[in-house]
Amino acid sequence: MMTPWFAPIIWEGTYNLKILNEQFRLRNVSIGLTVFAIKKYMTFLKGFLQTAERYFMTGHRVNYYIFTDRVEAIPKVKLRKGRKIVPLKIQNYLRWQDISMRRMETIRNFSQQQFIHEVEYLVCVDVDMIFRHPVGVEILSELFGTLHPAFYFAERDIFTYERRPDSQAYIPPEEGDFYYAGGFFGGTVAEVCKLTEMCHKAIMMDKEKNLEAVWHDESHLNKYFLYHKPTKILSPEYLWDDNIISPKKPKIKRFLTVGKNHSAIRNKRRAV
Ligand code: 48C
């Protein structure tokens, strides 16, 4: 339940949400949820938002920061009190790898210019997901990452870290704490700003050398968390994928992958 550096690992039953909600309500906490819905991934946004309204940070102030190339396509979803949708138009990229990696640059830029003035915490997630159980203030901390569902039972030597020494995401064979998922991380705006800045710089240094880390932004996130330990770690309850054959499944799956067949929706021209 605790890492060697005393960061709690969050599982169902290890915390009292009533107490935590009271603490965060007293602080009138505000949370920004960043999500990218570019090109075909816009199809996931309605289910994402509807289930977020039901399960994400219920009772607290939430800004949904929706980054998209098609602001007019953002679905109308009825929101509870204290919650709002903030459409943010950004350019798209041809390759899905670039769309995924450029999220670091975009989150960094908007954190510095806008989010720092609007919310206290940022939660940065993938869009091809739905919420199925409550995801609340138990996740909030200075800096948090999520154990990747495919590796939380695995030994370090099969973690799919970047292993080429030339890449900025390189992790040597004898190093590494956990394998973190690229689809769910966050923290205070200041900490997320530092994380996304470092990851973006690393991605661009690799690009200079015509290098692209094996799992793109996720590789750089794992490198960052190795040398900047998260203050809280979310169990795979917080990012589950039923396509993964796993020796044990978590008691509850709070946030579930729905994007099954990536190739079918990636790199396709938008339907005219
Ligand atoms: O918004 C898009 N559009 C794309 O064409 C490709 C990726 N993306 C964003 O990047 C979505 O927010 C995706 O969730 C994220 C990359 N993550 C995935 O594709 C799977 N969840 C691994």
Look at ligand 1, atom 3, and give the residue with the nearest C-alpha: 38
**Cα dist. 85→8, 33, 56, 250 in Å?**
31, 10, 14, 31
Range of the domain at 243: 9-265
Residue 256's DSSP bridge partners are 130, 240
- pLDDT reported for residue 267: 64
From ligand 1's centre to the CA of 12, what distance in Å? 27
Please report how the helices 96-110 and 189-208 are oriented relative to each other, as an axis angle in degrees rounded to 10. Answer: 140
Q: Is residue 266 in contact with ligand 1, taking CB distance under 6 Å?
A: yes
Atom of ligand 1 minimally distant from the CA of 100: 10
Residue at 2 is within a domain:
no
241 CA to centre of ligand 1 in angstroms: 15
Distance from the CA of 27 to the center of ligand 1, in angstroms?
Answer: 33
Span from the CA of 175 to the centroid of ligand 1 (angstroms): 28
Whether residue 1 lies inside any domain: the answer is: no
Whether 20 is covered by a domain: the verdict is: yes
pLDDT tens digits, residue range 198-230? 999 999 999 999 999 999 999 999 999 999 999
Ligand 1 pocket check for 45: Cβ under 6 Å = no
Of the candidates 120, 138, 162, 218, the residue annotated as catalytic is 218
Q: Is the pLDDT of residue 168 over 90?
A: yes
- 156 assigned to some structural domain: yes
Classify residue 3: in a domain, yes or no: no
CA 258/CA 243 separation, integer angstroms = 10
- Cβ 149 vs Cβ 253: under 8 Å: no
Ligand 1 atom closest to Cα of residue 67? 1
**Once rounded to an integer, what is the mean pLDDT over residues 80-109?**
97
Distance between CA atoms of residues 109 and 111, nearest Å: 6
- Residues 221, 197: Cα–Cα separation, whole Å: 11
Averaged over 170-184, what is the pLDDT?
A: 97
Q: What is the mean pLDDT of residues 48-55?
A: 98
Burial 201-211 (b: 16+ CB within 10 A, else e): ebbeebeeeeb
How far apart CA 236 and CA 3 sit, in angstroms, is 15
Residue 230 covered by a domain: yes
Q: Is the pLDDT of residue 272 over 80?
A: no
Identify the three-state secondary structure at position 184.
Answer: strand
Q: What is the mean pLDDT of residues 90-99?
A: 96
Shortest-distance atom of ligand 1 to CA 262: 19
Q: Give the ligand 1 atom nearest the CA of 267.
A: 5
d(CA 223, CA 202): 10
Is 118 a catalytic site residue?
no
pLDDT (0 to 100) of residue 28: 97
The pLDDT of residue 271 is 45
Tens-place pLDDT, residues 104-155: 999 999 999 999 999 999 999 999 999 999 999 999 999 999 999 999 889 9
Check pocket membership of 143 for ligand 1, CB cut-off 6 A.
no
Mutation test of ligand 1: which of 93, 95, 99 has the most ligand atoms closer than 8 Å to its C-beta?
A: 99
Domain count, the chain: 1
Asked whether residue 163 is domain-assigned, the answer is yes
Say which residue, 59 or 267, is predicted with more confidence.
59
| Residue 270 pLDDT exceeds 50 | no
List the CATH number of the domain containing 66.
Answer: 3.90.550.10
Ligand 1 pocket member 99 (CB < 6 A) = yes
pTM of the shown model: 0.96
**Confidence category of residue 260, pLDDT binned at 50, 70, 90:** confident
**pLDDT of the residue at 247:** 84
What's the whole-number average pLDDT of the chain?
A: 95
Question: What is the pLDDT averaged over residues 178-199?
Answer: 98
Q: Residue 226, Cα to own-chain centre: how many angstroms?
A: 17
Q: For residue 268, what pLDDT is reported?
A: 58
What per-residue confidence (pLDDT) applies to 85?
A: 98
Residue 40 included in any domain: yes
Protein residue with least CA distance to atom 17, ligand 1? 126
